[in-house]
């Protein structure tokens, strides 16, 4: 019964379009399997274009060595005799990365190496599995087109394979998922349309990109899934698309103003949300060393003559308070778009604090997308710097990417140096009110709960922070924390996940209380 309720409260937030396409694709898949459907080769209408592209950003997500060694997501594998493009030993996301081909753009990667790997992939095309899903097709198209353009490659076999993959992508557009998946489909189709000067492919790309960029870019510039990591990724795609359209006079360059407008907004948001150290806050599904850094994106944008447009942080629910020597980012917004909260966590009122450009109080981060207990732990209320009432969760986070019932916070009042907001739990009758106040030398947090249950507030410290408890004080090497009205304060070990497949032992404080606590962080 509980599982049925989880499904009900998850599905009821979906768009009709998502439900329709989930049913349609499921029925179509069974029918095609029954009749033995296979994609037929399409004849290229136009030869590949001699495109022009400005230099982009070198690959940062994967490393390829000459001995057939690939390193993605901090996991390596060496193929002894030939590459298994379906290799599943490190789970699906690793296999996806293998099939993205982003490694083509790493420094010192030769034309000959790239062509060998592309041709080997084509040779094994008939047995591919994960690599023929629409998401990896989208990314692979982009990376192949960039590689072929930068190295001035004209190859009929590669072109034919690329063209067929594009039409498979058209057939598999991810209308059942939407969000960043559908946006990636649009970017892939755009690069394919320009490469082949194909107006039909362009029509499909334009339809997705115009509607989805309007939907997915909030007024303050944030990508609407509210993950700084995915924001960087989508911004990278927008900049690459601007590069493509700006430097090639096809289709009247009509998407150029759209890409410039969205790039400026997204640059402004990520620049504001990034700490002076250059690191992003690991909010929602975010990890280090996956995407280009904020600095790399800003430098790339300057090469394209695009400057950031900084709108006040509002619609994303994120706020940044910068009082040198400390910077603090607070989340007082919704967990994400109702119909695609897959990268959301149970983390409303979470915050991340850096002092002297050093991480002090941090988020747990993420180490996996696999449907494991670790994934559940990293998305749960207790993995964030917030209050948990009893054993109840703020939101019903379940499976790897699902959310059933969820709450919407309400901002009670907000000034330049303070914000107060409340939320009602959906899993029990309880309310949490948190107020932040900021001064140059200290930060104050007041938490109040209305519930028959007691509360506990968690503070997750970076591994470099030395922590101890002295009565109601938590002295550290970067600041002094004073807790008033706590029942108990105890220190426990937790596992910090700065990147995929990386776990580091660190310390967190668990502060138990009844109705109210006041936390003061004095900056040393």
Do 275 and 220 touch, CB atoms closer than 8 A?
A: no
Q: Running DSSP on this structure, what letter comes out for residue 214? A: H
In a domain, 375, yes or no: yes
At 440-486, the pLDDT tens digits run: 999 999 999 999 999 999 999 999 999 999 999 999 999 999 999 99
pLDDT > 80? residue 261: yes
- When pLDDT is averaged across residues 503-510 and rounded to a whole number, the result is 98
Does residue 131 sit within a domain?
A: no
Query: What's the pLDDT band for 243 if we cut at 50, 70, 90?
Result: very high
Q: How many residues does the chain have?
A: 524
Mean pLDDT of the chain: 95
pLDDT, tens digit (0-9, with 9 covering 90-100), for 308-336: 999 999 999 999 999 989 999 999 999 99
Residue 73 lies inside a defined structural domain of this protein? no
For the segment 281-289, the average pLDDT, to the nearest whole number, is 96
Q: What is the dihedral of CA 382, 384, 390, 395, to 10 degrees?
A: -100
DSSP three-state, residue 250: coil
CATH number for the domain that contains residue 363: 2.70.98.70
Separation of alpha carbons 483 and 205, rounded Å: 54
- The 3-state DSSP class for residue 397 equals strand
Mean pLDDT score, 337-349: 96
Average pLDDT over residues 63-89: 91
Q: Identify any residues that bridge with 411 across adjacent strands, giving them in sequence order.
A: 421
Q: What's the pLDDT at 64?
A: 84
321-352 as b/e: b if 16+ CB within 10 A: beeebbbbbbbbbbbbbeebbbbbbbbbbbbb
Residue 67's pLDDT band (cuts 50, 70, 90) = confident
Residue 271 phi/psi, 5-degree rounding, is -65, -40
Rounded-to-integer distance, Cα 323 and Cα 317, Å: 20
Closest CA to 375 of 461, 503, 288: 503
- Average pLDDT on 353-379 reads 97
pLDDT band at 61 (very low <50, low <70, confident <90, very high): low
Task: Cite the DSSP H helix spans in 274-338.
Answer: 294-303
Structural domains of the chain, count: 1
Return d(Cα 380, Cα 479) in angstroms, integer.
27
> At a CB cut-off of 8 Å and minimum separation 6, what does 458 contact?
382, 384, 385, 386, 388, 508, 509, 510, 511
Tell me what the mean pLDDT of segment 348-373 comes to.
97
- Domain hosting 415: range is 318-523
| pLDDT tens-place string over residues 418-444 | 999 999 999 899 999 999 999 999 999
Residue with tokens 């001699």: 50
Does any domain span residue 84?
Answer: no
d(CA 431, CA 429): 7
CA distance 229 to 289: 10
Q: Give, in degrees to the nearest 5, the angle at Cα 511 between 509 and 517.
A: 135
Residue of 233, 245, 242, 133 whose CA lies nearest to 183: 233
The whole-angstrom separation of Cα 151 and Cα 492 is: 54
Residue at 389 is within a domain:
yes
| Residue carrying structure tokens 């296999």 | 95
Examine residue 104 and state whether it is found in any structural domain, yes or no: no
Q: Is 169 left (phi over 0), alpha (psi -120 to 50) or beta?
A: alpha
**Predicted local distance difference test score (pLDDT) of residue 8:** 85
**In angstroms, what is the C-alpha Rg of the chain?**
24
Q: What's the CA angle centered on 377, arms 363 and 73, to 5 degrees?
A: 70
Beta-strand runs (E) in 332-384: 351-355, 358-361
- 351, 385 in Cβ contact below 8 A? yes
- Find residue 351's DSSP bridge partners: 330
| Residue 404: inside a domain | yes
pLDDT at 62: 59
**8 A C-beta contact, residue 446 and residue 485:** no
Q: What angle do CA 293, 194, 179 make, to 5 degrees?
A: 50
Q: Is the pLDDT of residue 222 over 90?
A: yes
Q: What integer pLDDT is reported at residue 7 of this predicted model?
A: 80
Q: How many CB atoms lie within 10 A of CB 57?
A: 17
Going along 375-515, which residue ranges are E strands? 387-389, 397-398, 402-403, 410-415, 418-424, 431-438, 442-450, 455-460, 473-475, 479-484, 488-499, 502-513
Q: Give percent of the chain with pLDDT exceeding 70.
A: 99
Q: What is the pLDDT of residue 108?
A: 81
285-289-290-296 Cα dihedral, nearest 10 degrees:
110
* Residue 328 belongs to a domain: yes
The single residue listed with the structure tokens 């329709």 is 20
Residue 257 pLDDT exceeds 80: yes
Give the tens place of pLDDT for each residue, 7-24.
888 999 999 999 999 999
| Residue 60 pLDDT grade (very low, low, confident, very high; cuts 50, 70, 90) | low
Evaluate whether 141 touches 162 at the Cβ level (below 8 Å).
Answer: yes
Average pLDDT over residues 40-48: 86
């Amino acid at each position: 019964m509980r599982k049925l309720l989880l499904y009900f409260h998850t599905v009821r937030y979906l768009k009709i379009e998502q439900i329709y396409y989930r049913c349609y694709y499921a029925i179509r898949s069974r029918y095609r399997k029954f009749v033995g459907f296979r994609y037929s080769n399409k004849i290229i209408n136009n030869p590949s274009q001699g495109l022009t592209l400005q230099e982009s950003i070198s690959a940062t997500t994967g490393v390829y060595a000459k001995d057939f060694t690939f390193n993605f997501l901090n996991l390596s594998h060496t193929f002894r005799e030939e590459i298994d493009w379906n290799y599943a030993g490190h789970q699906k996301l690793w296999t996806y990365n293998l099939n993205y081909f982003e490694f083509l753009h790493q420094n010192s990667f030769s034309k000959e190496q790239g062509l060998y790997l592309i041709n080997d992939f084509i040779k094994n095309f008939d047995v591919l599995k994960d690599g023929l899903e629409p998401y990896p097709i989208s990314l692979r198209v982009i990376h192949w087109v960039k590689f072929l353009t930068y190295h001035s490659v004209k190859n009929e076999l590669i072109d034919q394979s690329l063209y067929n993959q594009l039409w498979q992508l058209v057939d598999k557009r991810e209308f059942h998922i939407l969000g960043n998946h559908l946006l990636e489909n649009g970017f892939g189709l755009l690069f394919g349309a320009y490469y082949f000067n194909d107006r039909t492919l362009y029509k499909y790309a334009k339809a997705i990109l115009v509607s989805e960029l309007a939907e997915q870019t909030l007024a303050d510039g944030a990508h609407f899934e509210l993950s700084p990591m995915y924001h960087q990724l989508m911004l990278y795609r927008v900049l690459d698309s601007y590069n493509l359209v700006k430097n090639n006079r096809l289709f009247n360059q009509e998407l150029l103003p759209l890409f410039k407008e969205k790039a400026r907004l997204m640059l402004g948001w990520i620049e504001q949300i990034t700490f002076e150290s250059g690191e992003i806050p690991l909010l929602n599904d975010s990890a280090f060393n996956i995407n280009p850094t904020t600095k790399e994106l800003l430098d790339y944008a300057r090469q394209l003559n695009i400057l950031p447009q900084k709108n006040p942080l509002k619609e994303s629910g994120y706020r940044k308070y910068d009082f040198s020597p400390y910077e603090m980012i607070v989340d007082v917004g919704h967990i994400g778009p109702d119909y695609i909260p897959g990268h959301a966590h149970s983390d409303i009122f979470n915050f991340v604090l850096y002092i002297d450009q050093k991480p002090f109080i941090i988020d747990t981060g993420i180490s996996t997308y696999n449907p494991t207990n670790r994934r559940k732990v990293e998305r749960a209320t207790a993995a964030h710097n917030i209050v948990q009432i009893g054993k109840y969760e703020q939101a019903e986070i379940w499976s790897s990417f699902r959310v059933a019932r969820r709450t919407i916070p309400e901002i009670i009042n907000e000034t330049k140096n303070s914000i107060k907001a409340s939320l009602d739990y959906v899993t029990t009758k309880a309310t949490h009110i948190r107020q932040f106040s900021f001064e140059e030398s200290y930060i104050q947090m007041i938490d109040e709960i209305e519930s028959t249950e007691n509360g506990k507030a968690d503070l997750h410290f970076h591994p470099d922070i030395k922590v101890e408890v002295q009565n109601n004080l938590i002295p550290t090497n970067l600041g002094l924390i004073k807790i008033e009205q706590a029942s108990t304060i105890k220190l426990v070990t937790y596992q910090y996940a700065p990147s995929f497949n990386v776990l580091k032992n660190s310390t967190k404080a668990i502060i138990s209380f009844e109705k109210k606590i006041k936390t003061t962080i004095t900056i040393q």
